[in-house]
Amino acid sequence: VVHGGHDTVNFLCDNEHVKAVSFVGGNAAGKHIYERAGQNGKRAQCNLGAKNHAIVLPDADPESVVNQLVGASCGAAGQRCMAISVAVFVGASKEWIPKIAEAAGKLRVGPGNASETDVGPLISKQAQQRVEQLIGSGVDEGARLLLDGRKPSLPDANQDGYFVGPTIFAEVKRGMQIYDNEIFGPVLACVEVDSFDEAIKFVNENPFGNGTAVFTRSGAAARKFIDEIEAGQVGVNVPIP
């Protein structure tokens, strides 16, 4: 195991003893690694960017939807490439969005070595600042902020840590920074649409398709989702791993 930044990456891509490179992460880093490894004749596999959606149908189990979306969006402080960062609510299911904000607001933010902690810190000060900037942009661009994770309540010993608490937005639209960008923090953007077909189309039009999920009691709806969705991993009534 080695640590580092650009120099470490370039060393691995250039070293003659390294025959292949696999990478999961952001677009800019992935493109650099793919190009540099290829220039040195190495095989390269790069999985870039993530914006994982969950579609919620009105016939789904509300309690399950709330619990699973809170965990899938805020687990590991949202710092995992398979986190659910967008929930698309179809029709009357949008009435459950405030319950998600209420449940997420009960999660405890704190150091990862404390047994009572539900949401730990972000990886760096730069990550914290980026997530807070994106939250601010959501407010500025007209999304409705139901739960603000900036400046969470913390023990005195952790006041200088890189913490952002669970954050829930409603009325999110395509074109907003919180939708178009990979946030990589405990932020859930809630989108509202009128029909299942509109929801599927909305998800498929996003360029980041690591994974997706649907919440429904209908076997027919689940099959339609599996057949028509274009993401890499698909979950039915479970968030992707």
Q: Which residues are catalytic?
A: 81
Rounded-to-integer distance, Cα 168 and Cα 232, Å? 25
The dihedrals phi and psi of 198, each to the nearest 5 degrees, come to -65, -40
Using DSSP's 3-state secondary structure scheme, residue 53 falls into: strand
Using DSSP's 3-state secondary structure scheme, residue 157 falls into: helix
Cα–Cα distance list, 171 to 11, 75, 152, 237 (Å): 45, 23, 23, 23
| Closest C-alpha to 35, from 13, 62, 5, 7 | 13
The dihedrals phi and psi of 204, each to the nearest 5 degrees, come to -65, -25
> Which segments of 39-186 are extended strands (E)?
43-48, 52-56, 84-90, 144-147, 167-170
